[in-house]
Each structure stands twice: as C-alpha cells, then as structure tokens.
Chain A
Amino acid sequence: MTTNIEAQYDVIVVGAGPAGSVAARIAAENGLKTLMIEKRQEIGAPVRCAEAVGGEVTKQYIEPDERWINAHIDFYDIVNTRNDRVRVPPTEHTWVVDRKVFDLELAHCAMRVGAKVMTSTAATGLVKEDGRVVGVEIRHIGRVQRVGAKLVIAADGTESQVARWAGLKTVPPMSDYYSGAQYLLGGLKGKFEPNVCEYHVGASIAPGGYVWVFPKGDDLANVGLVMSADRSAEISPRDYLDRFAAQHYPDSSVMSVVVGGIPATGALKRMVTDGLMVVGDAAHQADPLTAGGINLGMFGADMAMTTGVKAIRGGDVSAKALQPYETLWAERFGKQHAALLQIRKMLTGMSEDVFNGLIRTAASLPLDTMTPGQVLMALFKSHPRMLLEAGTLIKTGLILK
C-alpha cells in the first residue's frame, strides 16, 4: 500500500459547525497551520438546529451582527398541556440566530486568521501510525488524498465517525438520545411574542422531551420537538410535530424542515486519544436537558485548543498530553450536566397530570418576588407527591445555583 501523505498540517479540523470553526480559529490564531474540512456543499446548511444561543457566550467568539440575529429573547415561557404558563427570565440574554449566516461567518473568522477551509470534503478515514492518529484520508469531490496532521479535531457532529475510527466509545443509550424534528413555520402573526421562547412540556405532546417555539422575526418561528429516542418507534417526532402544529397553528406554512438526533448523555468520558480530540456534538457536549449545543460546543472547542496548542508546541500530542482538556471540561460542566441529566430523568418519569399541576401552581405565584426556596416550598405544599422527587430537586437546585 502506498503511504504517501500529500500535505502536512499542524491541525486538521473535521466539520465546520460552530465547534469546528472556533477550534480552527484558535489554532490558526496561534500560528498553527490549520485545515478545516466540511463534508457538505455549504457551511451552515442544511440547518440542524433550533438556533437559540446565549448572547454573552457567543460574543466571546464572534462579533454580534444583526445579519444573523433573528430575534432578541427576554423571557422563557414554560407551558403545560392545559396552556398554563410560567414566565422566567433567561439566565443570560438569548438570541435566535440564522445558522446559515452564523456558521458561515464563524468559518470565515477562522479563515481570516489563516485557516484553510474546504467544503464538499469528507473525512473517509484516519491515517494511523503505530496506533497513533497522524492524519486524515479526505475525499474532495471524488478525489481521495491523505493529509498529515499533528493533531486531528473531530467536530463532525452527532453522527461523528471520526471519533469512532479513533476507537472512542460514542454510541449513546437510546434513552439518552433525542430524536427531533422542526418546522420553520410562517404565517404566525399574533401567535407568539417576538421576545419570548416557549417550551411546551407534556408526555402527550413530546414523550421524554419537549416542544419549542422560538421566534425568528416577523411572522416566522422555529417550532420543533425532541423526544427520547426509545419512545419514537411507534409515533415519530415528525408525527408529533404535525399534531402540535395542526392544533396550535392550523393555518401556517412550513417554510423549512429540519430533522435530527442529539446526544443527551453529558460529554463523553474519553474525548482524546493519541493525536486526536473530539469537540461539540461529536463529544456529546450538548446540554442533557435542553439539548442546546452551540455555546457548549464553542466552549468545548476553546478548552480543547487551550490544551491542544500547548501539546503541539511541546511536541507531545499523546492522549496523556491532551487529557487536561477532559479535566477542564469536567471541572466546568461535569457536575452541572450530571444534575441536568437527573432533572431530565425526573421530568421524563413525572406524569403529565403532576407536571400540569406544578405549572398551574407556579403560574399563580409572584415568582419575581420569591426566592427559589420559597417557590419550592409553595410547590411542595400544593403537590405533596412531589416530595418523592424532592431529593433530586434540592440536590440539583444546589448544584445549579
């Protein structure tokens, strides 16, 4: 077998989503010769996302631009199936973005500081030497070549095969994988508030998940749902979404369709191997409760490159030298995500009646004048059955505080 490497880079990033582009930008900014490849013909398309991001986090990685900000969000509404709603302020200012423009701009940021970007370029294999990853076999519109790299960043999304080729365990349990569908609905004038993201929760509308309504400006909104993949065999997310749309927005138009899966396990235990790091959805870094992953992927890429740049400069890209990345992640998000996973399991196990009752009670409370403790006490008083879940709630409440 010929073993010719046709080009040599310091870093090859596989996948040009937000995590990949942030990783490529940081690598290039640090003077590393960087290549970022994207399998699809176009960066950011087709969209596979509900498109909500935290403003403060996003600003750390990209200059805000109204070209890709579709809506500014001031409140989240949690809605039960009887249409009671609890309004809460987001933990930070939230934007609903246009991923097509947003992703392209992020990739452009990487390119401007020196990273080379190639679309229609798939990774078809990893080049290994004595078990270590030393490059990527790529296929650009039918032409296959091997490209060498000191460090490979797998940012190839939920279906990551690069991480698997590297020998990492990535297959999630079905109960911790979200299956989802979303429509960009048009013609919704007056059907939603332009600065409010809605979360509809109930086993009858999205078993083991939820429905979201995120404003996209004018009369447009992303209306989508995720449900637990172990419950989607009989009735698909697409069918649940059709039901919801027919019930709430009977006269709407479907302006675009998005389907997909999201890991909701919390990050992989092993995110590095010799010569390779995994970031973003490929590393299961999405929020295990909401499945939001844009900001978390950017954080992951940042942490990976903090370690990766040092490793390359030190001339040691072994798994041991790359491991601090896993520690950085665990310290920042480990406990938080474990708690969010517990909350999801609790919600999944809760009957729709109990949840409806909780939201109805909470909707009647002056939440903005109460501490979280007072809210919990009030809920316990009206819903003693909830005491069964009290241990989990209090524990997770403390961790998230």
Chain B
Amino acid sequence: MFGLGKRRSQEVTPAAQPVPSAAPLIKVLVDEQICHHCGGCVAVCPPDAIFLETSFLRIDQETCTSCERCVKMCPVHALSMPNKQITGGRGGRRDD
C-alpha cells in the first residue's frame, strides 16, 4: 500500500497515454491477418510509436512521424500507409 513515508519523486516511463479526444488520422495501418507479431517494426521505429502487445500490434498514430521504416522493414508486408505513397524500393532514397 502507500509506502511507509517513502515519498520520493517516483515516476513510470512511459507515462500512461491520455485518451485522444478525437480519432487521430491513421498513418500506419496493420493488417492483423498478415502480421506475425515479430516486433521488427518496433525495433526500427524512431519515435517509439509501435507496441507489440501480447497478441496484437498497437500503433500510436499521434506519435508516428510517417517515416515509412516499419512499412519497408516488415518481412511479410503487413503494414501500409493508406494516406501516403511509399517511396522507393531497392535503390530508393536513403532513409537514415
């Protein structure tokens, strides 16, 4: 219960996400019929906007910067960006 007088500045990272008031723009879409929950997209996501939950992938659309890395990396192409054309395949622009 409430620590015995122990009230130092304790915090949890990441902090609980506030629930957005309106549905945000879908930047990255995951096809759960294809996704194998491997976590590769999580590893290459610069703003840490993808979370591999126990049995599904959760994408924080507000944090996503539309950088396309996850879409390009996905070994089974389960991710897409409905509002954006994905640039380049092989020989495309450098993205890092």
Interface positions of A (Cβ within 8 A of B): 1-5, 39-41, 46, 48, 120, 122, 125-130, 134, 137, 146, 157-161, 164-166, 170-175, 177, 179-181, 207, 229-238, 257-261, 263
Contacts of A230 in B (CB 8 A): 72, 94-96
Interface positions of B (Cβ within 8 A of A): 1-3, 6-15, 36, 38-46, 48, 51-54, 68-69, 71-77, 86, 88-90, 92, 94-96
Shortest beta-carbon contacts, A-B, top 8:
A234-B89, A261-B40, A159-B39, A159-B42, A233-B72, A260-B38, A173-B96, A125-B12
Chain A nearest CB: distance from B10 CB in Å?
Answer: 4
Q: In the bound complex, do residue A164 and residue B52 qualify as a contact, i.e. CB atoms below 8 Å apart?
A: no
Contacts of A259 in B (CB 8 A): 36, 38, 40, 75-76
Q: Chain A residue with minimal CB distance to B90?
A: A231
Q: In the bound complex, do residue A126 and residue B13 qualify as a contact, i.e. CB atoms below 8 Å apart?
A: yes
CB-contact partner of A125 in B7, B13, B40, B89, under 8 A: B13
CA distance A207 to B3 in the complex (A): 56
CB-contact partner of A157 in B36, B39, B72, B90, under 8 A: B39
Given A125-B14, A232-B72, CB of A172 within 8 Å of CB of B8: no
Q: In the bound complex, do residue A3 and residue B39 qualify as a contact, i.e. CB atoms below 8 Å apart?
A: no
Chain A nearest CB: distance from B45 CB in Å?
Answer: 7
Q: List 30 A-B contacts (CB under 8 A).
A: A1-B10, A1-B11, A4-B2, A4-B3, A39-B54, A41-B54, A48-B38, A126-B12, A128-B12, A129-B9, A129-B11, A130-B9, A157-B39, A171-B45, A177-B43, A179-B40, A229-B40, A231-B89, A232-B74, A232-B75, A233-B92, A236-B75, A238-B77, A259-B40, A259-B75, A259-B76, A260-B38, A261-B38, A261-B40, A261-B75
Q: Chain B residue with minimal CB distance to A177?
A: B44
CB-contact partner of B10 in A129, A157, A235, under 8 A: A129
* Most-contacted residue by chain B among A125, A130, A179 (CB, 10 A): A179
Chain A nearest CB: distance from B39 CB in Å?
Answer: 3
Q: Chain B residue with minimal CB distance to A167?
A: B13
Q: In the bound complex, do residue A171 and residue B8 qualify as a contact, i.e. CB atoms below 8 Å apart?
A: no
Q: Chain A residue with minimal CB distance to B48?
A: A164
* Most-contacted residue by chain B among A2, A122, A236, A259 (CB, 10 A): A259
Q: Chain A residue with minimal CB distance to B42?
A: A159
Chain B nearest CB: distance from A291 CB in Å?
Answer: 12
CB-contact partner of B96 in A5, A166, A175, under 8 A: A175
Given A3-B10, A130-B8, A231-B89, CB of A260 within 8 Å of CB of B75: yes
Chain A nearest CB: distance from B18 CB in Å?
Answer: 14
CA distance A235 to B88 in the complex (A): 11
Given A257-B36, A261-B73, CB of A172 within 8 Å of CB of B7: no
Q: In the bound complex, do residue A161 and residue B54 qualify as a contact, i.e. CB atoms below 8 Å apart?
A: no
CA distance A230 to B3 in the complex (A): 49
Chain B nearest CB: distance from A51 CB in Å?
Answer: 16
Given A125-B13, A179-B75, A233-B71, CB of A161 within 8 Å of CB of B42: yes
CB-contact partner of A161 in B10, B36, B51, under 8 A: B51
Contacts of A257 in B (CB 8 A): 36
CA distance A6 to B48 in the complex (A): 28
Q: In the bound complex, do residue B75 and residue A174 qualify as a contact, i.e. CB atoms below 8 Å apart?
A: no
Contacts of A233 in B (CB 8 A): 68, 71-72, 86, 88-90, 92
* Most-contacted residue by chain A among B10, B42, B74, B96 (CB, 10 A): B10
